[in-house]
Structure 1
Amino acid sequence: MQEKPNPENPYKLTGLKLTPLKKWAAGIPAVKAALADLFEQGIPLRGTKALFKMNQFGGFDCSSCAWPDPDDDRSPLGEYCENGVKALAEEATTKKITAEFFKDNSVYDLARLNDYEIGRLGRLTEPMYLPEGGTHYQPITWDDAFKKIASHLNALNSPDEAAFYTSGRTSNEASFVYQLFVREYGTNNMPDCSNMCHETSGTALRPTIGIGKGTVKLEDFYDTDVIMIIGQNPGTNAPRMLSALEKGKRNGAKIIAVNPLPEAGLMGFRNPQEISGVIGHGGKLADLYLPVKINGDMALLKAIELLLLDLEGKSPGQVIDREFIEEKTVGYDAFIRQFENYTLEELAEASGVSQADLYEAAQMLAYKKRIIICWGMGITQQPNGVDMIKEMLNILLLKGSIGKPGAGVCPVRGHSNVQGNRTMMINEKPTNAQLDRMQQVFGFNPPRKHGYDVVRAIKAMQEGKLKVLFCMGGNFLSATPDTTYTAAAIRKLNLTAWVSTKLNRGHLIHGKEAIILPTLSRSDLDIVNGELQIISTENSMGVVQSSKGMLTPVSDNLINETQIACRLAIATLRNTVVNWQRYADSYDAVRDDIERCIPGFEDYNKRVREKGGFYLPNAARDGNFITEEFGNHVPFTLTGLPETSLADDEYMMATTRTHDQFNTTIYGLDDRYRGVKNERRVIFMNEKDIEKAGFKAGDKVDLFNYDDNKERIAPLFIIIAYPIPEKNTVTYFPETNVLVSVNNVVKESNMPASKYVKIKIRKHSPGIYERVKELEAAQTFS
């Protein structure tokens, strides 16, 4: 038998070249990089045609990030960013992966490619099946694929022996039908990508303001006083956000950027749609940059609060909004008493930011009322992320800066419909109210016991409690932590099945049997019974809008995710009470029942077809904070400072994306803004740390983690000297996910804490690979 494929990207370097660090994002280089992808995929005309419809009224929604489209006029030149073009190029490509391709390439051989090479192979074109003990995927009909999956599901001792994963790109219609099938089947085991990105946000916001979403609209960025961006890099992760920041700046807003790295997209922006962005110097963004230590954010936030309270003492009634506090909050007195135990000196030291910079930040906030605080996974993937979001909310409560125009919280979501998935009840912990409504509408009693999230699902696989994993999109293996542990867990499953547009590493690390079901992309025409269908999505600001594909699919053997869920339900459920064929025949029928089941979707089919769609209800946005525990009041939250200690030879590591990447999809091997070209196996370190450890920039090193008294190794990385706080390091994911223990999670939300990983760094040893194999073998057979 062939050796098992390595779950990691191949341990090979691709040729590092360093370029100067950028101090601004976008501009003409972004346009060139984006168009180059269309040419590389061989679709300059097909791709350009689609670009004029992407994120436009009556067009299709970009499958990349969830940043909202403008409610009013949209740019005729294009409502998309560089990474949006790259995402389109990947899905609009005419390159195909056929049954002949799989016949010529074994699973083992494909796993020897890196993620970038795998992503360049093209679109999947027909269902494929890997039998137990097989080395090559082989074609299977759609009917036989559904029968195979159904036979596995119906052979289980309990529905809870199966888990059903969901990616953020899945439409509202597909998500609703999918979760309905899973619950009629009998389980709440629905891990999803929220469990790895913004579960922390919902966990923090729901009990405090009554809703697990942001409270601002896009237009609030245009007319506000201060925008505070913490742990988020808009230039790479949500490039269209730069236009909103630019517009806010022109209208007088100040921007505070908080991040361990001085990201180009926080510092400056050259708008390629304006003359100043083409031939000029563009615009400055951050008025103040605070280079916080990894996990020093809590100390920074408390320092700002301490200074605001001090300024209020000197100018009573001018800094703190006492009227808002008295009318809308509880717990203020206990909140301010805690500051008797803090000093500015101690908080500055813990944060890594100077007292002078902290004072300047407080001054920028002190006499303003309209304040927006944004954050990304730099906050949500830290062990105390829930508390830090509550602390950011504390600042807004002090200022009365929530529930009014130009002010509020803004978790910047990643994938394009990850928020919509949750609204459609893709959730391992549904509320009783949601389940009661489902029972009332459909007539069956859905399961009440909470299911597995991502981390718990991985552990359940390893323990033999799960036998089947069905993935509606995504790249489960590469997105999850503790890669060696996760791979060993997946290999214990009886069946793994994926709904995918393209091949990824997750298809190559599989259960005893495996199935790939190819599906349509957002940009593809979706015609059912002779009628062109529309789907819908929800963006970061709670807007639900339609999406209509317009490209001819690369294969006639592709079907939409909604139909895949329906046909799986028909094949699996023996005494169903749901008319699945009705849903498969028309997505309007799905929306009719979403309207019956989920609040806020009245006249769904009518309103989703209106220009720009519609906003879902958001009481907190309107200043009504309705929580179970505190009624119509928001609590001030008492939090503590984290205790972070590092041994002399330890460093704190955070994982991040390159600019040529979206989640686990690798568009290229460059990280243009950080000056990295043609390489991903790098580690950013402070120059003083490099010298103190006896290294030099360019050295090859191996990275180690010892959480849970267990050795984890990521071999062969190149040191890059970078302006980052001492004892802090940054690497790219998924290459270093192997170092993130499955037990290193965010308190309360149980998300992987990928921004808080203790590592040791040693000179690269050629013999390290044998040790890696030993660890993988020990994990596989443990």
Structure 2
Amino acid sequence: MPRSRETDERTDTPHYDRPSGGWGSMRGIGKILKDQKPSAGAIRTLMRQNKPGGHMCTSCAWTKPKVPHPFEFCENGAKATIWDLTTDRCTPDFFAAHPVSELRKWSDHDLEKAGRLTRPMRYDPATDHYVPCTWEEAYAAIGDKLSQLEPRQSVFYTSGKAALETAFLYQLFARLYGHNNLPDSSNMCHETTSVGLKKVIGSSVGTCVLSDFDHCDLILFFGQNTGSNSPRFLHKLQQTVERGGRIITFNPVRERGLVEFTNPQRPTQMTVTKPTPISEMYLQVRPGGDIAALAGICKHVMELDRAQGGIVDREFVERHTTGLTDLETRLQAMTWSEIEATSGLTRAALEEVAVAYASARRVIGIYGMGLTQHVHGWLSIGMLVNLLLLGGHIGREGTGISPVRGHSNVQGQRTVGISEKPKLVPLDRLEQLFNFTAPRDEGLNTTAAAEAILNGSIRAFVSLGGNFARAIPDQGRTDPAWAKLDLNVQIATRLNRSHTLVGNSAWLLPCLVRAEEDRQASGPQAVSMEDSLSMIHGSAGRRKPAAPDIRSEVAIIAGIAKATLAPNPNVRWDEWTGDYSQIRDLIEATWPDRFKDFNENLFTPGGFFKGNAARERQWKTNSGKAEFTTPDVLTALGQTPQDDQLTLITLRSNDQFNTTIYGFSDRLRGLEGSRDILLINPEEMARRGLTEGQIVTVEGAYDDGHTRRVKGLKITAYDLPDTCVAAYYPEANPLVPLAYRDQLSGTPAAKGVPVRIRG
């Protein structure tokens, strides 16, 4: 197969032959500026984005530096902000013109393209239209309905955008009401991290801070598309390469951001000098093959150590870890043939990585959902930790493990109590502060909530942002079940598919975006969020709200709670809504070790660190030590492809943030136009008798008695490993079974789904 001499990319299938960043990113931003025609001041808003005293981006959770660049935003972050500041408005007149049954047939892009919601709306079953209402009417009706239900019949979901202040009040409302049904978007993406890392190092989050990337010698990168999903991270990767550090990437898809990068903030690189190569090696591991790849690297590292010594940090291992003997025995028993067959990589390539590891003094392991969204995703994380532990690469400057989060505050929401697991929340302290008895039974996570909607045991659903119905697996089965709900409350900025799946009672409650000024009784308010490196940042919006009748998320949650709950002198919803600093005082009182002097530190440049015990080599595990994991399988897949089966990977495009579809360009993959495509390599295509452009149906091959099918996908040749195909999320979600999920965390296994192609 023909490949580029410079980048080793396949040239006989669609590809982007330019670097990530550069003029392509500028054109991408320009395109959405033209499309959305944002309100005046959008450029000034971008200039404040991710800077001390400014507003924090609503896109990814990558950290914000102490000394920001002149333009501290990326293409994806700019798109998110411009999308928020659109001049398009979704008014009552829009809803009067379009019945909900019609809107249900619209595409994700067209629904959101209708613009910002401007008024609270209630669904009228008699006319099949949303009709305007007052806030007081909405609060009273929602509160009355919730009061009639048994609390555990309700789910309070949150996406990863809500600020710490909002999230704290939301979880408090749920527990005052009487349940722990608090699923969030983490359940769908990085819950495997929370469970897997906690098991092996005692920390539910990564151990790195930004300065570690200034000192590492080697970065091992697994299953994350930084060029599209967190492009500001590319600055650190570029600097690593330029000072002589090495980056080795493992990903089934060759993503341009990890191949080469042109920095838009360097005029000479934009005009004269060459792009920066990012990955020294780019290994297209098979889906689910990371366990085998990491086992092969660990196997050779230990062989090198036995031969020459000094590679395994024996002092660290003896003092800080347990379980190495069992792992070593297992690795010695593995054959290279099974490692190669499962990973899809050669022994020579994996041994080369092991040699690079052996020569490095400081190593960082980075990963995304390509590692976590598997049936054995927790084991993939355990294997990456194994490799880092061998050399003592956790708890030293320039070392650590660093998951890259998606939603901007998904990690922070878990920090302040958004969790279905009562053991993770200081309920005793909440009871002392607010004089109530907290529920102690475990609540529903995302997949359990979806199953409860299917079986009818959940009667009310309150959604703080997001597009839950579109983001979850098994949509072909779940979509009809929403009609059984007694109450569906959606707090949102724009219209999306979840809003069209109405039950007996449905409400649309429009909220501010983060870039807009949030003015309450005490004046303009600030909010806060936690990034993926555990830094807390303040955020203050300045743009004029899109409409006079839009309210803040804090005000909306407080309004519903007041209408639902009996008065409690310790619970002062009006005071907290009027002054968010009081909410931060409550957060500090609940978690004094993490949020000391919260209000005073709110706008610390670069954020303030909430702390991480594993970074200090304090291991809060069952054994009191970091734990080596012995793999009992070599694939993260729950079902390896047999005969006519293939493994499906779900992807996000360059013109997308989660379920928000900005447009139909996947520029960084060389794909334009339709999202209804199925990617497959030419050799696999020929073996299966498929032709370029053929329209096919993809069927689920997970045998649980349910039929799963997505029709009308166009076969498109692409550079992928054998035995796998790829399609876009969320369009391919109907093929992902709710029951097909990580063994420990319940995270849907959307990066390794068994499927069949039907002509």
Per the TM superposition, whether the score is higher than 0.5 is yes
Q: What code does the residue aligned with 1:26 have? A: G
2:596 counterpart of 1:606:
no
2:84 counterpart of 1:88:
no
Partner of 2:672: 677
CA distance in 1, matches of 2:604, 2:705: 57
CA distance in 2, matches of 1:19, 1:307: 36
Superposed, 1:207-286 pairs within 5 Å as 207-279=199-271, 280-286=273-279
Q: What code does the residue aligned with 1:81 have? A: C
Partner of 1:760: 756
Q: What code does the residue aligned with 2:628 have? A: F
Which one of the candidate residues 173, 180, 183 is aligned to 1:191? Answer: 183
Secondary structure of the 1:431 match is: helix
Secondary structure of the 1:498 match is: strand
Partner of 2:9: none
2:44 counterpart of 1:75:
no
Secondary structure of the 1:471 match is: strand
Q: What code does the residue aligned with 1:611 have? A: P
Which one of the candidate residues 90, 93, 97 is aligned to 1:97? Answer: 90
Superposed, 1:695-706 pairs within 5 Å as 695-706=690-701
**Shift in Å at residue 436 of structure 1?**
1.2
2:530 counterpart of 1:535:
no
Partner of 2:10: none
**Shift in Å at residue 719 of structure 1?**
1.1
Superposed, 1:705-744 pairs within 5 Å as 705-707=700-702, 708-744=704-740
Which one of the candidate residues 480, 493, 496 is aligned to 2:488? Answer: 496
Change (3 A) 1:86 1:433: closer
Q: Is the 8 A contact 1:276 1:282 kept in 2?
A: no
Q: What code does the residue aligned with 2:504 have? A: K
1:454-512: CA deviation from partner (whole Å, max 9, x where unpaired): 11111111222110000000000111000022212222111111100111111011222
Partner of 1:776: none
Q: Is the 8 A contact 2:485 2:504 kept in 1?
A: yes
1:46-87: CA deviation from partner (whole Å, max 9, x where unpaired): 22121111111110000000000112x1112x1011011110
Partner of 1:775: none
Which one of the candidate residues 306, 309, 314 is aligned to 1:313? Answer: 306
CA distance in 1, matches of 2:547, 2:560: 21
**Shift in Å at residue 151 of structure 1?**
1.1
2:614 counterpart of 1:648:
no
Which one of the candidate residues 388, 395, 418 is aligned to 1:396? Answer: 388
Structural RMSD (CA): 1.4
Partner of 2:4: none
Change (3 A) 1:432 1:728: closer
Partner of 1:143: 136
CA distance in 2, matches of 1:138, 1:642: 55
Q: What code does the residue aligned with 2:167 have? A: S
Q: What code does the residue aligned with 2:336 have? A: L
Q: Is the 8 A contact 2:52 2:603 kept in 1?
A: no
1:695-715: CA deviation from partner (whole Å, max 9, x where unpaired): 111111111114213211101
Q: Is the 8 A contact 1:222 1:245 kept in 2?
A: no
Which one of the candidate residues 31, 43, 48 is aligned to 1:48? Answer: 43
Partner of 1:119: 112
Secondary structure of the 1:735 match is: coil
Partner of 1:750: 746
2:431 counterpart of 1:439:
yes
Q: Is the 8 A contact 1:458 1:489 kept in 2?
A: no
Partner of 1:485: 477
**Shift in Å at residue 222 of structure 1?**
2.0
Q: Is the 8 A contact 1:656 1:732 kept in 2?
A: yes
CA distance in 2, matches of 1:475, 1:593: 29
Which one of the candidate residues 52, 57, 71 is aligned to 1:57? Answer: 52
Superposed, 1:404-423 pairs within 5 Å as 404-423=396-415
**Shift in Å at residue 433 of structure 1?**
6.0
2:468 counterpart of 1:473:
no
CA distance in 2, matches of 1:477, 1:622: 40
Partner of 1:346: 338
**Shift in Å at residue 600 of structure 1?**
1.2
TM-score, normalising length: structure 1: 0.93
**Shift in Å at residue 287 of structure 1?**
0.4
Query: Share of identical aligned residues, percent?
Result: 37
Secondary structure of the 2:401 match is: strand
Q: Is the 8 A contact 2:375 2:741 kept in 1?
A: yes
**Shift in Å at residue 19 of structure 1?**
5.8
**Shift in Å at residue 353 of structure 1?**
0.4
Partner of 2:5: none
Q: Is the 8 A contact 2:417 2:425 kept in 1?
A: no
Q: Is the 8 A contact 1:68 1:541 kept in 2?
A: yes
CA distance in 1, matches of 2:567, 2:69: 51
**Shift in Å at residue 609 of structure 1?**
3.1
Structure 1 stretches lacking a partner, 5+ long = 1-17, 764-782
Change (3 A) 1:433 1:273: closer
Change (3 A) 1:334 1:647: closer
Superposed, 1:539-578 pairs within 5 Å as 539-576=531-568, 577-578=570-571
1:230-276: CA deviation from partner (whole Å, max 9, x where unpaired): 01110011111111100111122100100001111111111111134
**Shift in Å at residue 575 of structure 1?**
3.8
Partner of 2:157: 165
CA distance in 1, matches of 2:445, 2:424: 18
Partner of 1:617: 611
**Shift in Å at residue 152 of structure 1?**
1.1
CA distance in 2, matches of 1:213, 1:591: 22
Structure 2 stretches lacking a partner, 5+ long = 1-12
Superposed, 1:326-405 pairs within 5 Å as 326-405=318-397
Partner of 1:107: 100
Q: What code does the residue aligned with 2:224 have? A: Q
Q: Is the 8 A contact 1:292 1:353 kept in 2?
A: yes
**Shift in Å at residue 281 of structure 1?**
2.2
**Shift in Å at residue 432 of structure 1?**
6.5
Secondary structure of the 1:639 match is: coil
Q: What code does the residue aligned with 2:540 have? A: K
Q: What code does the residue aligned with 2:616 have? A: D
CA distance in 1, matches of 2:480, 2:113: 27
1:122-165: CA deviation from partner (whole Å, max 9, x where unpaired): 10001010033541100011011011111111111x20000000
Once structures 1 and 2 are overlaid, which stretch shifts more, 380-389 or 689-698? 689-698
CA distance in 1, matches of 2:183, 2:451: 12
CA distance in 2, matches of 1:152, 1:210: 41
**Shift in Å at residue 426 of structure 1?**
0.2
Q: Is the 8 A contact 2:157 2:461 kept in 1?
A: yes
CA distance in 2, matches of 1:530, 1:339: 62
Change (3 A) 1:334 1:113: same
1:666-697: CA deviation from partner (whole Å, max 9, x where unpaired): 01101001111111011110111111111111
CA distance in 2, matches of 1:48, 1:579: 38
Change (3 A) 1:121 1:239: same
CA distance in 1, matches of 2:366, 2:483: 39
Q: Is the 8 A contact 2:342 2:634 kept in 1?
A: no
Q: Is the 8 A contact 1:270 1:276 kept in 2?
A: no
Secondary structure of the 2:196 match is: helix
Q: Is the 8 A contact 2:48 2:54 kept in 1?
A: yes
Change (3 A) 1:464 1:45: closer
CA distance in 1, matches of 2:379, 2:207: 18
2:615 counterpart of 1:596:
no
Change (3 A) 1:687 1:203: same
Change (3 A) 1:694 1:150: same
CA distance in 2, matches of 1:329, 1:276: 48
Secondary structure of the 2:41 match is: helix
Q: What code does the residue aligned with 1:624 have? A: Q
Secondary structure of the 1:536 match is: strand
Secondary structure of the 1:440 match is: helix
1:698-735: CA deviation from partner (whole Å, max 9, x where unpaired): 11111111421321110101111111111111110110
Q: Is the 8 A contact 1:23 1:267 kept in 2?
A: no
Secondary structure of the 1:695 match is: coil
